[in-house]
Amino acid sequence: MSKISRRRFLQTSVLAVGALALGDVAKDALGLLGERSLASAADGSKPAAPIKIGILDPLTGPYKTSSIHDVHGATVAMDWYNKRGGVLGRQVAIVEADTASNVEVALKAATKLIDEDRVDFLMGTFTGECSLAVSELAKKENKLFMVTGAHIMELTGARCNSHTFVFMPNARMLAQAVAPEIVKAYGTRCYTITANTMDGRAALEAMTQALRGQGAEMLGGATTPFGTTDFTAAFTEAKAAKPTVIVLNLYGWDLVNALKTYAKMELAKEKIGVGGMVAGEQIGRPLGYASNAGVWGLIWDPKVNTEGSRKFIQGVIDKYNHTPTSRCYLGYAAMTQILEAVRRTGTTDTATIIKALEGHEFDGLKEGRSYFRAWDHQHVQDVLVGEAYGKELGLGHYKILTTIPGDSVAGTRDQTTCKL
């Protein structure tokens, strides 16, 4: 689908609710009624200081494509608030920092955001190692931290803390949703290829448990260094095990390059399927849709047809001229919830915002419930499972196979070691 036809499609859907989208009802939904552009006071006094959100993401390295989309989504949310007068009469500003997927770099960047840039809140990060390090720093410095990229269980488990909220579905949620569909599509003989990172190991553990729960046989697995570009050896080893499906515990350019190898070796012709815990539009685009394949867990998809989702899609297209990805979704929705908490409480005080988020139910731009659990700060939400196609399928290039309510896969309090 061309950009022009995509735009026309979205404009048609938005116009159907145009009176709401542009009127007071929509503004009230965003919490912006009664707020005007107060950046400069009418009496000529000094403008109110902006509310600063520090975004930490790997803007260089194997995860850079996904991280840029995280910032895109957050920027769309920021722009919408600012155009309507900001929050509490203050404009919102984003301060970006690159973690380079390195703990030392991430901590240095986070420290600068707090000490020099004087940000009010932190969000972002992608790798588990960086997320945990920033989480501990945020608590020490009394800053709210909203994780938008990492899925490791420790963030809402053994190393959870009072100042960190996790917007991303965790590894258990994703694996429990996608494993039944992988087995249904490809059978029970599974071989894994896993990145040698905390994220890869978390995905391997969650997928192994979920697949075994579906009666799968785990034939073995290969481990690859983070940033691998040639996966020929790993797939050759996998093929020798005679699996019906190869499960990829990879992400970012690692996943892109692995799927290129899968296509080059023509394993689909040998009836060997492929899939994994999480993928998205930001994987298919650099890969080239024709080389994409498999069954994947999805955080969000542009075919989610709710009013909030349609408005978000249009906002990204208007600003960046592309259909939003799941990473755009995470940045946008997480930023929105931080700013909404500020609006509801009338303050940027960290302790007050934490209390306002705990247990809060909100529009997560999905069909089912979205809320932050008070006892571990996990965002409980729908998890989608999609089959990749070799071309765009309407909006996006996944056929949605199922949507799993978050409550059914998020686990119970008895299953967590989190002690807030």
Domain 172-298: give its CATH superfamily: Response regulator (3.40.50.2300)
Domain 3-169+302-381: assigned CATH number: 3.40.50.2300
Which phi and psi angles does 147 have, rounded to 5°?
-80, 125
Report the C-alpha gap between 149 and 138 in whole angstroms: 16
pLDDT in 10s for each residue of the chain, 420 residues:
334 444 444 444 444 433 333 333 334 434 443 343 344 444 566 789 999 999 999 988 777 777 788 999 999 999 999 999 999 999 999 999 999 999 999 999 999 999 999 999 999 999 999 999 999 999 999 999 999 999 999 999 999 999 999 999 999 999 999 999 999 999 999 999 999 999 999 999 999 999 999 999 999 999 999 999 999 999 999 999 999 999 999 998 899 999 999 999 999 999 999 999 999 877 766 676 666 789 999 999 999 999 999 999 999 999 999 889 999 999 999 999 999 999 999 999 999 999 999 999 999 999 999 999 999 999 999 999 999 987 777 788 899 999 999 999 999 999 889 989
Residue corresponding to tokens 């609006």: 343
Equal fold, 3-169+302-381 vs 172-298: yes
pTM of the predicted model as reported, rounded to 2 decimal places: 0.88
User: What distance in Å separates the CA atoms of residue 116 and residue 100, rounded to the nearest whole number?
Assistant: 20
* pLDDT attached to residue 12: 44
What does the alpha-carbon distance between residue 114 and residue 104 come to, in Å, rounded to a whole number? Answer: 16
Sorted by where each begins, the domain ranges of the chain are: 3-169+302-381, 172-298
**Strands 370-372, 361-362: parallel, antiparallel or unpaired by DSSP?**
antiparallel
